[in-house]
Structure formats: structure tokens, C-alpha cells
């Protein structure tokens, strides 16, 4: 969006409707065009041009609008920093654009909070203020194209279009054959986000060094006291995952280059050393325990030490594939020469504990409310494991959940017989008995049974791994990226058939602004003719909109039309 400085100052003084008047499709096109140019310069190793383009992008109005929208529409938008300020109105969002300036910028300290981890410990988070979050989002727009261009092929954490399932599929490709490597180095970095060396980051992260230094040294506020930050990147900042990825980039490529130089390309290839990384967790395969212990591990430790990091002694081990290993919530193990991937015992136990706590913590709620609380949890867990050998784990989990619900039901009526409790809370649906459910009135006026989600109904379908060379900022990969995004959104929401129909009919784009609908942006199901005016729930009367576009339609009383399928 090319706007003169006078026009920008004038626009900032306008009424709050200006936020709703933004042409988001044009904003997204402008930002993406600059990112493509940055990625091209990075591939050509023209670092002077990269720096110039990054500086240009962070000063554009389009990038600032994009950054403010990103931090005000994600889940963290309702969590304030130390200044207790939230940009929850169009006025505050529009005024925030004028605050995103490099000159005179000084970030406020982070607000320290703790969230529970699966192992019972607590994970520290640092919550920046809204302004600092928006500044991070702004500079992340300029850093992402460089980070993507320099990332290892098999790094899957916190990267566009990549997921844990892609990492799992790559391990399967690497270890499933009879001639594949049989040994694995399971590596875990000790407190990765807490110990990354600040000097190394300032020397090696390709972004504005002065801004980066200010973020790293901003400090923390905990129990009313200001604590200095001498190392690490705070978990909670929008740019922190990318900084961690940049820190660990090269682990795969440089290890391969080291082995080729030391042993020769032919001999190094026979060692079958492959790295698969997701954020700060990674595994390295090899043909023997000796290779991993004597050659690979010392090199990895030296690689990490330069960055201020070290391996966790208690979590790092070398394992044979016949014994199996856990990674990203799955267990990888060969049974009689066949590699099977199953939900790990730890993952199953952690999820069951979460469900049990949800049930026991809601002893007095209505059955309908408990079902609506549990269904997203059950569906999400089942979907995460839907591309591995999980049917046995599904059946076991269903049995355990049933036992907890039977206890919940009987506890509410201690003086009633078991048969009475069964008839009140459990029903028969088709050939399935003991369905935990309750009749409810649906929006169409009919009464139907709202039942607990059956985990075993989740079909097992093999995950289609992303191509290793995919680059989200290379125009040659544009069509592939769009197809992949739509396929994965369709797959993740397949239990909502009407939503999938709307999504596919719109080409995965918002019906108002024409920009992408993703998990990060969220969406609203909008009725073209409002129900209060006699509109129906038919698909012909509904479209999907971004949340902010939905607000824009209602505030501006705009008319939305049904998109024409491409």
C-alpha cells in the first residue's frame, strides 16, 4: 500500500471506521511481494540488498497494518503485558500503527507467567506488551523469508505449512526399510529458549541488530521486581520460535558437510546419518551406536556450545530401533523388521489425566456442557494420531473415558440404581449402546442427541508429507503451497462437512477481503440474509469470513455476495 507520509498522518486522525476501511487483500499482496524479493536476494547471497529490502518493508504502512492485525486476532490478543493495555477496539488498532517506529523505540519488560508442563513442572513464559508484540510481528515479516531460505530441509517446527506429522513421515521414510539405519540419537536441548547466547544471536540473526538487542535485554517483571535477561529468548514472544530456528539452522547441513569432509562423500553416505528436527527436539539416525556416540554426538555438542546450548543428559540417549524411541508424542519401533508408529505411553497417560481432571473438575455442570467441553479435546487428540497405528490406543482411551463418565454419572445420584442412571445419561444409537449423550434443541428447531465424540470413529489415513524443497516465498511453489494448505485445512476439519463445503467453494479465501483463511486467522460463519430477517441455514445463504472482516460487515452494513467458484 503506497501512501505518502502526509496522507498517513491524515488517515491516522480519522474516525475508527478507518480500520474497517483497509483493503486487506492489497495489504497482503504488498507484504508478500516484498517478502518474495527478500527471499530471492537471500538465495543469491546478496546480503546488502537483503538488509535494504528488510529496512524498506518494516517502514511500509502495509507491513505495519499486517503486524497489528496479526497480534490482535490471535489467541494471545486477550492477554496484556506489563502495561495492561489491549488493542481491543478499532480506534486503538488504528492508533497503534503510528506507534510502530524504529526511532525512539524502547521495549517494556516482559510479564513473567508460568504454565504447567506435561511432566508436572512449569514452563516460564514472557508476555510482551501489545506494542512490543506488534514490533516483533513487523520485524518477523522481514526475517521469515531469510529464515526459510536458510533452513535445513528436515526442520519442521514453527515453519509455514510444516507440522509434527511431516517430521513423523520423514522418520518413517528414513527408517522403515530393511536396509535403513537401525540406531537413533534422541536429542533434547536443555532449556533451549533460556540459554541461547545473546552475542551469537546479534552476530548471526539477519535482522536489525539494534532492535534485536533491545528485545533480548528488555528484562522481566516477576512479583513486582525487574529481572535482567542475560541469555535466551523469552518463550511467549511472537518472534522467539523463529529466532530459535535460526539458531539451530545448519545442524543438518553442517553435520553432513563435516562427515563428507572427514570421511569422504561415499563413506559418509554409507553411515546413513540423517537429522529430523522439530523446534529444539531432534533425532539423528546412524548405522551403528559407535558412529553416533563417537562421531556425531561430540560434533553436535560442539555445534550447540558455540550458541550457548548443551544437550540434556537425562533426555539424550542412543537407542536401537527394535527397542523403540519416543518423539513428538509417538513411539517409533520395529516389530519383526516392520516399523510401526503408535501414540506413546506418555502421551496417552498425559491426555487421559487431562480428560480425567476435566471430568472431576466439573462434577455439577449439565451433561450438555460437559459434552461440549470434552468433544473438542477428544477429537483433537484423535486427529493428532490419525495418521499412525492408533486404533488400539483409541479403544483403550474410549474405555478409560467411559469409566470416568460412569463414575461422574453415578456420583450425581447416589440413591438411584445403576439401571436408572444408565437410562438417564446413556443412550443407544444404531447398533451402539452406552452412548453418553443428551437430547438438545438444534438451531434448525429439531431435537437431536448431542453425544460424546467417539474416538474410534476417527479414520486412520496416511499423512502426505510436504516436499522437502518447498519454499513459501518462492513464486514457483505458489500453486503447490495453496493446494497443500487447502488439503490440510480440509483434512483437519473433515468432521465438519458443511464447513469443508463452504471452505472449498470459496477456494480457502475470505468472501470479503479475498485473503487466506487459516487456523491462525480464524473465521466466522456469516449468513448473507440474517436469520432474524428470515434467512435460512442452507449453504447457499452462508459464507466464511475472517473475524475482523465479519466485524467490518456488521459495522459498515456491507453486503457480501456468494463467491463464484474458480
Supply the CATH number for residue 297's domain: 3.30.70.270
Q: Which residues have a Cβ under 8 Å from the Cβ of 235 and sit 6 or more positions away?
A: 123, 124, 125, 126, 193
Find the angle CA(235)-CA(241)-CA(242) to the nearest 5 degrees.
Answer: 145
- Is residue 472 scored above 60 in pLDDT? yes
Angle at 170 between CA 195 and CA 321, to 5 degrees: 85
For residue 134, the tally of other CB atoms under 10 A from its CB is 26
Find where cell 514452563 sits.
Answer: 123
Q: Tell whether the model's pLDDT for residue 343 goes beyond 60.
A: yes
Does some domain include residue 350? yes
- If one compares 559 and 272, the residue with the highest pLDDT of the two is 272
Same domain for 400 and 324? no
One domain, residues 447 and 492: no
Query: So what's the pLDDT on residue 18?
Result: 76
Looking at the DSSP bridge assignments, the partners of residue 277 are 155, 282
Give me the helices (H) in 231-281, please: 240-248, 251-263, 265-270
Share of the chain above pLDDT 70, in %: 95
Cell for 311?
544437550
Residue 448 predicted with pLDDT over 90 = no
Q: Which triple of cell numbers denotes residue 76?
A: 494471545
Judge whether 421 lies within some domain.
yes
Residue pair 293/318 in contact (Cβ under 8 Å)? The answer is yes
The full 3-state SS of 467-529, as one line of letters, equals: CCCCCCCCHHHHHHHHHHHHHHHHHHCCCCHHHHHHHHHCCCECCCCCCECCCCCCCEEEECC
- How far is Cα of residue 354 from the mean position of the Cα atoms in its chain? 20
Query: Residue for cell digits 491516522?
Result: 12
Of 314, 342, 370, the domain-final residue:
342
Instruction: Inform me whether the pLDDT recorded for 121 exceeds 70.
Output: yes
The total of other beta-carbon atoms located within 10 Å of residue 317's CB is 12
In a domain, 41, yes or no: yes
User: Of 562, 451, 455, 439, nearest to 512 (Cα)?
Assistant: 562
Distance, CA of 37 to CA of 39 (rounded, Å): 5
Same domain, 422 and 528: no
DSSP code for 321: T
Q: Above 90 in pLDDT, residue 426?
A: yes
Q: Are 520 and 140 in contact (CB under 8 A)?
A: no
Bigger pLDDT: 20 vs 163: 163
Number of domains present in the structure of the chain: 4
For 299-304, what is the mean pLDDT? Answer: 97
From 327, 342, 357, the end of a domain falls on: 342
Which residues does residue 333 pair with via DSSP β-bridges, in sequence order?
Answer: 340
What is the C-alpha to C-alpha distance for residues 518 and 484, in angstroms, rounded to an integer?
12
Q: What is the predicted pLDDT for the residue at 499?
A: 77
pLDDT at residue 140 tops 90 = yes
Q: Does one domain contain both 427 and 483?
A: no
172 and 297 inside one domain: yes
* pLDDT at residue 538 is higher than 50: yes
CA angle 56, 57, 58 (to 5 degrees): 95
176 and 122 co-located in one domain: no
Give me the pLDDT at residue 345, please. Answer: 96
Within this chain, do residues 432 and 539 fall inside the same structural domain, yes or no? no
Q: Any idea which of 142-151, 224-233, 337-346, 364-373 has the lowest mean pLDDT?
A: 224-233
- Which residue among 403, 418, 451 closes a domain? 451
Site of grid cell 540419537: 185
The pLDDT, as a whole number, for residue 10 is 38
Contacts of 113 (CB under 8 A, 6+ apart): 124, 125, 127, 236
Q: Are residues 327 and 363 in the same domain?
A: no
Same domain? 187 vs 244: yes
CB 157 within 8 A of CB 279: yes
Domain membership of residue 62 (yes or no) is: yes
CATH number of the domain to which 505 belongs? 1.10.30
Residue-averaged pLDDT of the chain: 89
**Residue 402 predicted with pLDDT over 70:** yes
Q: DSSP states of 168-235 as a string?
A: HHHHHHHHSSTTS--EEEEEEBTTHHHH--HHHHHHHS-S-HHHHHHHHTS-EEETTEEE---SS--B
Region 164-175: mean pLDDT is: 96
Q: What is the mean pLDDT of residues 21-30?
A: 90
SS3 20: helix
Exposure string for 149-164, b = 16+ CB within 10 A, e = fewer: bebbebbbbebebbbb
DSSP secondary structure letter of residue 120? S
Is 1 inside any structural domain?
Answer: no
The total of other beta-carbon atoms located within 10 Å of residue 515's CB is 19
> How many residues are present in the chain?
566
User: Cα–Cα distance between 274 and 255 in angstroms, integer?
Assistant: 9
| Number of helical (H) and strand (E) elements in the chain, helices listed first | 23, 16
Nearest to 275 by CA among 300, 293, 312, 241: 300
| Assigned domain for 427 exists | yes
Q: Report the C-alpha gap between 215 and 242 in whole angstroms.
A: 14
**pLDDT of 16 strictly over 50:** no
H or E element in which residue 318 lies: strand 317-320
Strand blocks (E) in 62-121: 110-116
Closest CA to 131 of 78, 75, 67: 67
Write down the pTM of the prediction. 0.87
| pLDDT confidence bin for 507, thresholds 50/70/90 | confident
The answer to whether 160 and 147 have CB atoms below 8 angstroms apart is no
Model pLDDT, residue 205: 95
Range of 547's domain?
475-556
Chain centre distance of CA 534: 39
Pair (85, 167) in one structural domain: no
Question: Is residue 110 located within the same domain as residue 71?
Answer: yes
The CA distance from 356 to 404, in Å, is 7
Residue 256 to residue 305: CA distance in whole angstroms: 18
Q: What is the edge-to-edge ordering of all strands in the sheet holding 122-127?
A: 122-127, 110-116, 220-222, 225-227
Q: Identify the residue with better confidence: 12 or 510.
A: 510
Predicted local confidence at residue 271, as pLDDT? 96
- Is 130 in the same domain as 155? no
Amino acid at each position: 500500500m503506497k501512501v505518502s507520509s502526509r496522507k498517513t498522518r491524515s488517515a491516522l486522525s480519522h474516525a475508527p471506521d478507518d480500520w474497517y476501511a483497509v483493503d486487506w487483500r492489497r495489504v497482503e499482496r504488498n507484504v508478500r511481494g516484498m517478502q518474495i524479493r527478500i527471499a530471492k536476494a537471500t538465495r543469491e547471497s546478496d546480503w546488502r540488498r537483503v538488509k535494504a529490502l528488510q529496512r524498506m518493508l518494516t517502514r511500509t504502512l502495509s507491513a505495519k497494518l499486517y503486524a497489528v492485525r496479526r497480534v490482535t486476532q490471535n489467541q494471545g490478543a486477550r492477554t496484556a503485558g506489563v502495561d495492561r493495555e489491549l488493542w481491543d477496539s478499532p480506534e486503538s488498532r488504528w492508533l497503534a500503527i503510528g506507534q510502530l517506529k524504529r526511532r525512539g523505540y524502547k521495549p517494556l519488560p516482559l510479564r513473567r507467567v508460568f504454565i504447567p508442563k506435561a511432566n508436572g513442572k512449569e514452563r516460564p513464559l514472557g508476555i510482551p506488551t501489545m506494542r512490543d508484540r506488534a514490533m516483533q510481528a513487523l520485524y518477523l515479516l522481514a526475517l521469515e523469508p531469510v529464515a526459510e531460505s536458510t533452513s535445513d530441509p528436515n526442520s519442521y517446527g514453527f515453519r509455514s505449512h510444516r507440522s509434527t506429522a511431516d517430521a513423523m513421515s520423514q522418520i518413517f521414510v528414513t527408517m522403515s526399510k530393511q536396509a535403513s539405519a537401525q540406531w537413533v540419537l534422541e536429542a533434547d536441548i536443555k532449556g533451549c529458549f533460556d540459554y541461547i547466547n545473546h552475542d551469537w544471536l546479534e552476530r548471526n540473526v539477519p535482522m536489525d541488530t539494534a532492535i534485536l538487542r533491545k528485545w533480548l535485554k528488555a528484562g522481566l517483571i516477576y512479583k513486582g521486581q525487574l529481572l535482567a535477561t542475560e541469555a535466551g529468548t523469552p518463550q511467549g514472544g511472537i518472534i522467539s520460535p523463529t529466532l530459535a530456528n535460526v539458531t539451530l539452522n545448519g545442524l543438518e547441513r553442517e553435520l553432513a558437510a563435516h562427515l563428507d569432509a572427514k570421511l569422504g562423500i561415499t563413506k559418509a553416505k554409507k553411515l546413513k546419518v540423517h537429522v529430523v528436527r522439530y523446534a529444539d527436539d531432534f533425532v539423528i539416525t546412524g548405522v551403528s551406536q559407535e558412529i553416533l556416540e563417537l562421531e556425531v554426538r561430540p560434533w553436535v555438542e560442539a555445534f550447540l556450545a558455540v550458541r550457548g546450548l548443551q544437550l540434556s543428559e537425562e533426555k539424550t540417549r542412543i537407542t536401537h530401533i527394535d527397542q523403540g524411541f519416543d518423539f513428538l508424542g509417538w513411539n517409533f519401533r520395529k516389530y519383526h523388521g516392520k516399523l510401526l508408529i503408535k501414540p506413546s505411553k506418555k502421551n496417552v497417560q498425559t491426555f487421559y489425566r487431562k480428560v480425567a481432571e476435566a471430568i472431576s473438575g466439573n462434577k455439577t455442570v449439565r451433561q450438555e456442557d460437559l459434552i461440549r467441553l470434552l468433544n473438542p479435546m477428544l477429537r483433537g487428540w484423535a486427529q493428532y494420531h490419525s495418521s499412525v497405528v492408533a486404533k488400539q490406543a483409541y479403544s483403550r482411551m474410549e474405555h478409560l473415558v467411559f469409566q470416568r463418565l460412569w463414575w461422574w454419572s453415578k456420583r450425581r445420584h447416589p440413591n438411584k440404581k445403576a439401571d436408572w442412571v444408565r437410562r438417564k445419561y446413556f443412550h443407544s444409537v444404531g447398533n451402539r449402546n452406552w452412548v453418553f449423550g443428551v437430547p438438545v434443541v438444534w438451531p434448525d428447531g429439531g431435537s437431536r442427541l448431542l453425544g460424546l465424540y467417539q474416538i474410534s470413529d476417527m479414520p486412520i489415513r496416511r499423512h502426505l508429507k510436504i516436499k522437502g524443497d518447498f519454499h513459501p516465498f518462492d513464486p514457483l511453489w505458489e500453486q503447490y503451497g495453496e493446494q497443500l494448505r487447502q488439503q490440510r485445512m480440509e483434512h483437519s476439519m473433515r468432521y465438519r462437512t458443511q464447513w469443508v463445503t463452504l471452505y472449498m467453494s470459496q477456494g480457502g479465501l475470505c468472501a470479503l477481503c479475498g485473503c487466506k483463511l487459516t487456523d491462525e486467522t480464524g473465521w466466522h460463519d456469516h449468513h448473507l440474509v440474517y436469520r432474524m430477517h428470515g434467512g435460512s441455514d442452507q449453504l447457499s445463504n452462508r459464507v466464511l469470513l475472517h473475524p475482523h472482516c465479519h466485524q467490518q460487515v456488521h459495522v459498515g452494513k456491507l453486503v457480501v455476495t456468494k463467491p463464484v467458484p474458480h
